A = this chain, B = another copy of it.
Amino acid sequence: MVRIFSAQYRWAKMFEVEYAACEFWQQEGKLSIRDLVRLREAFGKVTLSEIARREARTRHEILAFLEALEARLGFGDPLKRYLHYGLTSSDILDTALALQVREATGLLLEGWKRIAGRLAQLAKKYSRTAMVGRTHGIHAEPITFGGKLAGWFSEAQRNLVRLKQAREILSYGKLSGAVGTHVYHSPQFEARVLRRLGLRPEPVSTQVIPRDRHAEYFCALALSACAVERFALEIRHLQRTEVREVEEPFGKGQKGSSAMPHKRNPVLCENLAGLARLVRGYLSAILENCALWHERDISHSSVERVAFSDGVILLDFMLWRFLSILDGLRVYPENMKRNLEASRGLVFSQKILHALLEKGIEREQAYLWVQKDAGKAWESGLSFQEIFGRNPKARRIFGGREKVQRLFALDGYFKRTRSILRRAGIR
C-alpha cells in the first residue's frame, strides 16, 4: 500500500495516462509502434530526482515531468508533438489518482474479505458459547459470542459493499482539457483512452474531476475505520481485568509495562481506536474540498496529498492489524460463563417477566413484582433466583418451586443463533 502511494508509483500511473493517449494517436496513424516503444524507454530513464530538480525551477510538476521526457526525444520527434497533446495537467493528475485509488481499494477489499472470512469461522466456532449480553455496560440477557461475531461479520460485509461502491465512484477519469470543454479532443477520444485504462469518462468535468467523488470515497474509508474501532472497542472491554472474556494476542517476549510486568494490555486495539480518530479527521478535511472555486482552485491538492495517502495507508494498516488480532484472539469461555452467572439469576429477569405474562399476570403488575425482587437482589447481592423462588405466590403460579427454578436456565436463549448466522450469510 505504501508502494501505491509512493512518488515512483504515482509517476508511473501518470505515465500510463500519457502513454494511453499516445496509443490512441498510434491507432490513428499519427505515431508508430516504434514511437511508443521509444516513449516507454524514455520514461524508463527519467528519475525522481530529475523531476524534482526541474520542478524546483518550474514549480509545476507536470511540466517538469514532460520536460524530462522530452529531453530524451530527438529534434523534430513526432512524440514531442503528440505527447500530452491537447491535455492539461489535471487530465493526467486526476486520471492517475483514480488508477492509484482503484488499486489501493483492491487491497482494502482484500483486507475486509479476510476479516469477514475469519469472523465467519469464529462466529460458527463460538455459536454455542454463552456469555452475558450487556447494554449500557450492564448485564442484560444471555447471548452467544458467536452471535456477537456474526454482527461484526455483517458489518464487515456492509463495508465490502461500501468500498466496492466507493471504488466505482472514483473509477472516473477526464481528458477534457483545460476547463473541461473538449476543445482539442472529442469526448470519443476521452472515452477510448479511458476505456484502455479501465476507467469511465466524467460526464461533465471542469478542469478537474468534481471532488464530491473523492469525498464520497473517503466517507467509505471513514465508515470502515469506524467499524474497526467498534470491534476494537469491544475487545478492549472484554479484556478488562474484571471481565477478561477475550484477550488480544500478546507476543512472547513482549513487555506490558515498564513498571508492572504482569500486565496484558489491549494496546493493539487501543492503537486502532486512535487511528480511527485520525481517519475521521481526514474526512473533515476532504469534505471541505468539494466546493472549489469556478472551474477549480488547487486548495484540494495539499489535502489530498496528505489525507488520501495517509488515510488509505492507515486504514490498510488498521485492517491488517485487526486481522492479526483476530488470528491470535484468545477466547475464555469459562470466564464468559462465570460472568454470566455472576449476576445470580438477574439475567433471567425478562424471561421471568414473560413467564408471568404467559400465566396471565398483567404487565404493570408483573413488571413491578420482578422489579422489586430484582432490585432486592441487585442491592443485596443475593441471588434473584432464590428471592423469587422463595415467594409462595410464584410457586403457586408456576406450580411448585422446582418449576420456578427451571425458568432460570439458558435453554431457549440460543435457539435462533444458527438461523441468525445463516441470515447474515454465514454458512
Contacts and interface: CB of A to CB of B under 8 A. Distances in A.
A427 interface: no
A425 B203 CA distance: 9
A262 B306 contact: no
A282 interface: yes
Given A207-B135, A277-B303, A384 B262 contact: yes
Contact of A295 (B80, B135, B298): B135
A308 to B, nearest CB: 11
Contact of A151 (B204, B226, B384): B204
B284 A203 contact: no
Contact of A181 (B141, B239, B363): B141
Contacts of A253: 57-58
B212 A135 contact: no
A229 B302 CA distance: 13
Contacts of A192: none
Contact of A212 (B155, B201, B287, B353): B155
A72 interface: no
Contacts of A290: 223, 226-227, 229-230
Nearest to A372: B261
30 contacts: A60-B255, A60-B256, A86-B354, A133-B178, A134-B294, A135-B294, A136-B236, A136-B293, A150-B204, A178-B257, A178-B260, A181-B414, A212-B226, A223-B287, A234-B294, A237-B294, A241-B342, A242-B243, A242-B342, A261-B367, A261-B374, A262-B374, A262-B378, A270-B297, A274-B285, A274-B289, A277-B284, A280-B285, A281-B282, A281-B285
A216 interface: yes
Contacts of A420: 180, 182, 187, 203-204
Given A141-B178, A346-B262, A133 B301 contact: no
Interface string A151-165: 101110011001001
A63 interface: yes
Interface residues of A, number: 161
A297 B204 contact: no
Given A70-B364, A178-B350, A181-B133, A260 B295 contact: no
Contacts of A230: 212, 290-292
A343 interface: yes
A390 to B, nearest CB: 17
Contacts of A204: 147, 150-151, 153-154, 420, 423-424
A273 interface: yes
A86 to B, nearest CB: 7
Contact of A274 (B251, B260, B262, B302): B302
A266 interface: yes
Given A135-B179, A362-B80, A258 B141 contact: no
Nearest to A351: B183
A307 interface: yes
A294 B296 CA distance: 20
A310 interface: yes
Contacts of A88: 257-259
A288 B241 CA distance: 24
Contacts of A80: 362-363
A181 B416 contact: yes
A59 B183 CA distance: 44
A333 interface: no
A271 B135 contact: no
Interface string A359-401: 0101110010011001101100000100000000000000000
Nearest to A213: B158
A263 interface: yes
A265 interface: yes
Contact of A357 (B85, B256, B300): B85
